[in-house]
Amino acid sequence: MPRIDEKLLPIFDDVLRRNAGETEFHQAVEEVLESLGAVIAKHPEYVDNALIERICEPERQIIFRIPWVDDKGQIQINRGFRVQFNSALGPYKGGLRFHPSVNIGIIKFLGFEQTFKNALTGLPIGGGKGGSDFNPRGRSDGEIMRFCQSLMIELHRHLGEYTDVPAGDIGVGAREIGFLFGQYKRLTNRFEAGILTGKGLIYGGSRARTEATGYGLVYFVDQMLKRKGIDLADKRVVVSGSGNVAIYTIEKITEFGGKVIACSDSSGYIVDEAGIDLDLLKEIKLVRRERIAEYVQLKGTGAYYTEQGSIWDVPCDVALPSATQNELNGNDATSLIRNGVMAVSEGANMPCASEAVRLFQEAGILFGPAKAANAGGVATSALEMQQNASRDSWTFEETEARLAAIMRRIHDDCADTAETYGAPGNYVLGANITGFVRVAEAMQAMGVI
Ligand code: NDP
């Protein structure tokens, strides 16, 4: 496992000092800096021109109060965040997350990752991320709407087709995007479709955006396996989470002939050796908004639910962590390796702890890092922006074909870069270097920004 080059150590120390206590942000920066030793040997000007320091510092961070009234008439206060990380390649682009764990460090780590991910897509989008510590669980539609409207009262002044274009993330799906867009329209008296992505089809959304992150993840995994001469068909797959990314990952794996035998939510996981019944899962999670334990009750025999232990103890060929950051630790990685896993690819952002990534790489397991493997969502958001700008609407097939081509290109760029830098098969290194160099080159061309 590479260590941070000594020329970059003072930069990392500075990041630790200036962002004290933001452990996820430290983890994300460390992982990128570890990949850059060979890059700065080739491009010493990146260090001389303080490009790395500049890339580690967000362009702008906005923190604001979100007051709203719940169904009992009580006033509630949440905190809102938008970190506009880097606009060297295009307007800030990245989702909004509603989850009680949200704080500035989490949003900064996500915005930092997003900058390189967006660069990897090859499309003209910069990096940003936002959200709130609001917990949507158990809230009524009316409460969700009032919360979204209050959030947008502040956020709207920072958005714009050429400035900052948010989308969904954990806890923010089609319902929330609708409330947010409606409030933006009221506040500005303008129908600006290009200020948000993940919109409903009827008012400017893109076909295949809902499916894009999960589908894109599967295209990426398929390419990794193909390069080794392995077919995804008939493989046993475990996918954690049961939200947007997990559901459409399961759908596409099934289309490729693989069998997903386990998935989860934050309360526990289910195993169904016959293959997860996707229609039932969608009914529980997307329609009823219930817990995953319901699956076993409705399915009857053959499936079981576990609250204790880890979903990563379920033997599989391919593991796709698609719930949240640091959900797969070193022990989980050891268990997966012992049980013969051949590929692990990140559907969520940074779901594998650093120790787990190290163990996979040392064991020679194919490992797809999030910034490459889950870039299909933001890539399709950029396709939504293209359709909005040209007031056009493409078919599902056309949009998915573009998504598939983008994912293949991302895969090949990462694989080729890893080879060029003497680390064939190291997709972490390939993704970090490819994304970093694109952002650094654009900033370099624009002077001291
Ligand atoms: P959703 O809110 O739709 O689903 C999240 C899923 O993860 C739920 O099953 C949730 O369970 C579970 N989960 C959330 N927090 C935790 C936790 N602390 N421990 C265990 N399980 C948890 O979110 P998405 O599917 O959209 O996002 C999942 C991941 O993918 C995130 O890391 C996100 O940043 C990333 N991502 C999403 C993209 C998108 O287009 N949506 C694009 C790129 C990345 P529960 O219901 O119990 O909370």
pLDDT tens-place string over residues 379-404: 999 999 999 999 999 999 999 999 99
Segment (H or E) for 329: none
- Ligand 1, residue 324: give the atom nearest the CA: 32
> Do the domains 211-364 and 61-196 match in fold?
yes
- In the chain, helix, strand, coil percent, each to 5? 50, 15, 35
What's the confidence (pLDDT) of residue 63?
Answer: 98
For the domain 1-57+426-449, what is the CATH code? Answer: 1.10.285.10
**99 C-alpha to ligand 1 centroid (Å):** 10
Average pLDDT for runs of 10 along the chain of length 449: 89 98 98 97 96 98 98 98 98 98 98 98 98 97 98 98 98 97 98 98 97 98 98 98 98 98 97 97 95 94 92 98 98 98 98 98 98 98 98 97 98 98 97 98 96
- Ligand 1, residue 212: give the atom nearest the CA: 40
Q: Is 129 a catalytic residue?
A: yes
Segment (H or E) for 54: helix 51-56
Cα dihedral 372, 120, 112, 47 in deg (nearest 10): 120
Best probe residue, ligand 1, of 24, 117, 169 (max atoms within 8 Å of C-beta)? 169
Q: Please list the alpha-helical segments (H only) found in 121-233.
A: 141-155, 174-188, 209-227
**50 C-alpha to ligand 1 centroid (Å):** 35
Output the CA torsion sign for 108, 113, 115, 121. Answer: negative
Best probe residue, ligand 1, of 97, 176, 244 (max atoms within 8 Å of C-beta)? 244
**104 C-alpha to ligand 1 centroid (Å):** 18
Q: Are 92 and 163 in contact (CB under 8 A)?
A: yes
What's the confidence (pLDDT) of residue 302?
Answer: 86
DSSP code per residue over 376-389: HHHHHHHHHHHHHH
Strands (E), 12-105: 60-69, 75-86, 92-98
CB atoms < 10 A from the CB of 405, how many? Answer: 12
Q: Which fold has domain 61-196?
A: Rossmann fold (3.40.50)
Domain locations along the chain:
1-57+426-449, 61-196, 211-364
- Ligand 1, residue 265: give the atom nearest the CA: 11
Q: Are 435 and 371 in contact (CB under 8 A)?
A: yes
Helix (H, G, I), strand (E, B) or coil at 442: helix
Helices (H) and strands (E) in the chain, counts: 18, 12
Instruction: Name every residue whose Cβ is closer than 8 Å to that of residue 291 and which is 6 or more positions away in sequence.
Output: 265, 267, 284
Q: Are 30 and 13 in contact (CB under 8 A)?
A: no
What's the confidence (pLDDT) of residue 301?
Answer: 80
The candidate with the shortest Cα–Cα distance to 344, out of 367, 371, 372, 317, is 367
DSSP conformational letter for 347: S
The candidate with the shortest Cα–Cα distance to 173, out of 164, 181, 163, 165, is 181
Catalytic residue among 117, 129, 199, 285: 129
Which residue minimizes the CA distance to atom 31 of ligand 1?
348
Crossing angle for the helix pair 376-389 and 396-420, nearest 10 degrees? 130
Q: Using a 6 Å CB cutoff, which residues line ligand 1?
A: 168-171, 213, 241-246, 265-267, 322-324, 327, 347-349, 374, 377
Helix (H, G, I), strand (E, B) or coil at 200: coil
The span from the CA of 234 to the CA of 256, in Å, is 9
Which residue minimizes the CA distance to atom 42 of ligand 1?
377
| pTM of the predicted structure, to 2 decimals | 0.97
Pairing of β 259-265 and β 268-272: antiparallel
Q: Tell me yes or no: is domain 211-364 CATH 3.40.50.300.
A: no
- Ligand 1, residue 377: give the atom nearest the CA: 40
Cα dihedral 358, 360, 361, 362 in deg (nearest 10): 80
Segment (H or E) for 253: helix 244-255
pLDDT tens-place string over residues 345-358: 999 999 999 999 99
What's the confidence (pLDDT) of residue 1?
Answer: 57
Residues in the chain: 449
